[in-house]
Amino acid sequence: MREAAKRAERRPSGLLWAGVIVGGLIAVGILVAPGLRNEPEETVSPVELGAAEVSQAPVLPKVEQLGVRVIRKYPHATDAFTQGLIWHDGVMYESTGQYGKSDLRRVRLRDGEVLAKRKLDREVFGEGLALVDQRLIQLTWRSGIAFVSDIATLQERETLRYAGEGWGLCYDGKSLVMSNGSSTLDFRDPESMALLRKLSVTKDGRPVDEINELECVGKEIYANVWRHDEILRIDSTTGRVTGSIDAGGLLTRAESWRADVLNGIAYKPDSKTFLLTGKLWPQVFEVDFVPR
């Protein structure tokens, strides 16, 4: 009797079975009472979720869009594969590249005449150039050597060593700022080339690769982007690109066929203008940067 009673407790009555069946039908949506409807719970679609996430992302300041206004044009030696450019005391200094053709030169801007020149060894490829006090510091591409030369004579004083490739170079008054073809700038000791810190360059939150020739102006760094007609204005503290300068169209179509890429920026503090040129370009352009 005890076992039978247990089985009776476990077995549902006919009425209970009917309730179970009806409940199951309602659960699967087969049987719905008139006037009643199972309303789905409020959900957020994946698209809405994405929008919500985007709205919470930090809003970056807009990059200022600039162009160039040409003030003057000057002749430029078409054998100069320009890698670095400096303006100092009314004279232009230039570092040129290519194996067997690299040199350091002093140039008179108004007519492009090369006033003095020192050739580099055939085994090195000249790159960026910076002025520290009365010393010209000239990088090499893959040799890991920086040549330190006297600005008055262009004669070599010493060499400094560094790791990695050398591309662009400028001096911010405290540190040498050096590019290596990546999106990172190296800040180095001007006496030893020892690495002090690194700075990642970003535009609209994304890294910018192939940064090339550099010019330091106050707390900003102007940079050529290799194989592009764009010049970047970079905040030297944050690495954020604050301005994008379109320098396209400086050469005529005929001149462009015989020339290589835009590369060479020098700042003229007396007039607050910039000198721009490129590898094998026939001209140097004095410009200012204007909104577009």
Contacts 24+ apart (CB under 8 A), 259-264: 259/78, 260/81, 261/226, 261/227, 261/228, 262/224, 262/228, 262/229, 262/231, 263/82, 263/83, 263/212, 263/213, 263/224, 263/226, 264/82, 264/83, 264/84, 264/85, 264/94, 264/213, 264/224
**In a shared domain, residues 22 and 111:** no
State how beta strands 241-246 and 64-75 pair: parallel
Q: Tell me: do 75 and 165 sit in the same domain.
A: yes
Query: Both 238 and 204 in a single domain?
Result: yes
**Inside any domain, residue 56:** no
What is residue 43's predicted lDDT score, i.e. its pLDDT? 45
Q: CATH number, domain at 134?
A: 2.130.10.10
Distance CA 269, CA 251 (A): 25
From 193, 85, 185, 181, select the one nearest 131 (Cα to Cα): 85
pLDDT for 250 beyond 80: yes
- The dihedral of CA 281, 70, 117, 179: what is its sign? negative
Total count of residues recorded for the chain:
292
Residues 150 and 257 in one domain: yes
Q: Which of 11-20, 123-132, 169-178, 190-199 has the lowest mean pLDDT?
A: 11-20
Give the predicted TM-score (pTM) of the model: 0.80
Give mean pLDDT, residues 253-258: 93
pLDDT of residue 274: 98
Across 127-137, average pLDDT:
97
pLDDT at 59: 82
Domain residues for the domain of 23 are 1-38
Task: Let me know whether 117 and 216 are in one domain.
Answer: yes
Same domain, yes or no: 139 and 200: yes
What phi and psi values does residue 39 have, to the nearest 5 degrees? -85, 130
Q: Are 215 and 267 in contact (CB under 8 A)?
A: yes
pLDDT at 50 over 60: no
| Residue 120 reports pLDDT greater than 70 | yes
Whether 23 is covered by a domain: the verdict is yes
In a domain? residue 47: no
Say if 238 falls within a structural domain. yes
What is the gyration radius of the CA atoms in the chain, in angstroms?
33
Does 168 score more than 80 pLDDT? yes
What pLDDT is attached to residue 42?
Answer: 43
- State the pairing for strand pair 195-200/202-203: unpaired
Q: What does the pLDDT read at residue 56?
A: 64
Please count the structural domains in the chain. Answer: 2
Q: Which pLDDT belongs to residue 57?
A: 61
Q: Are residues 97 and 5 in the same domain?
A: no
Does 51 map to a domain?
no
- What average pLDDT does the chain have? 86
Kindly indicate the confidence band of residue 252, based on its pLDDT and cuts at 50, 70 and 90. Answer: very high
